[in-house]
A and B are shown apart, each in its own frame.
Chain A
Amino acid sequence: MHDAVLACSRWLENTPWGVTVRDSAWMSPVIQWMHFVGLSMWLGTTFSVDLRLMGVGKRRQTAAELSNGLFAWNWIGFGVAVLGGFLSFSAEATTYVQNTGFCLKLAVLTPVALIWHVVVQKNIGVWTRTEQSSAIGKRAGLIEFLLWISVVAASVAFLLTNAVTHP
């Protein structure tokens, strides 16, 4: 398992894009910028919906209306964030996969949070037939909110301990 992951990482690092990003002086910060811009859209939209589902804050729209209205920008943000993340991962894959925070983020927390996000998006109409979200909807919103914060926490743990930024 460990060998397979390292082999994949080595392959990624030697892809044309992996080599280009690693050898460039200016691309890494620009890619990080892309990742953060995408995340602002992804988390700005996702948190707004989760908090509305939890019944916190203003109630000018139901959570389902808000979720539908923000759907396009939600997934545009996700696409931009993933592309940026994938490119920076490709440049330093073998180093990144040896960091516990990174593995936790990529292999566990992000997939779980993402699956949960899709479940919430699919069911939000059922959970918000009235102005008030149902009890299960409220809990689902809170869980998604906490899941994404845990993804950010794992990313920060990674940033503070990885060998590329802290040799």
Chain B
Amino acid sequence: MNLTSFYAWLEATSWGTAIRENELLFPTIESIHVIAITLVFGTIALVDLRLLCLTCRDTRVSQLTRPLLTWTWSAFTVAAISGSLLFSSNAAAYGHNLYFRIKMLLMLVAGINMLLFHFFSSRTWQSWDHLPDTPTRARVAGAISLMLWIAVVACGRWIGFTMLS
């Protein structure tokens, strides 16, 4: 199955059709998507700012990440499901939209950045977890993450303005 037929299949599904044809479904799902994405961005940004030593310097990094990441992942799951539903209502147009593609790519890079940071700091984090100042590696990961997620939100907004034409 190539992408074009996959998009066509998605648009023809019962949920894709319902979201496209019902006046209230799209904005309702979109509202949920926006709440979820603000939570994803906000909670990630707080951790990033701590990694950059710009806030909560007297709080352990793990003390901040443990409760917050649960919220980040829950909100991300909601954002991914609601986003997929919105996508299925007009799959081909979204799939061909430049900003949609950039948004997906940026989230992939953000995921890789997170995995690399976890991988390289899994042995050492206990030595700096309690310190106000984090190592350079942590600051770089925090800065990259923050910039990527700002760009993700921007791309998301730009999709809405480039889909109409």
Is chain B found bound to chain A in the same assembly?
A: no
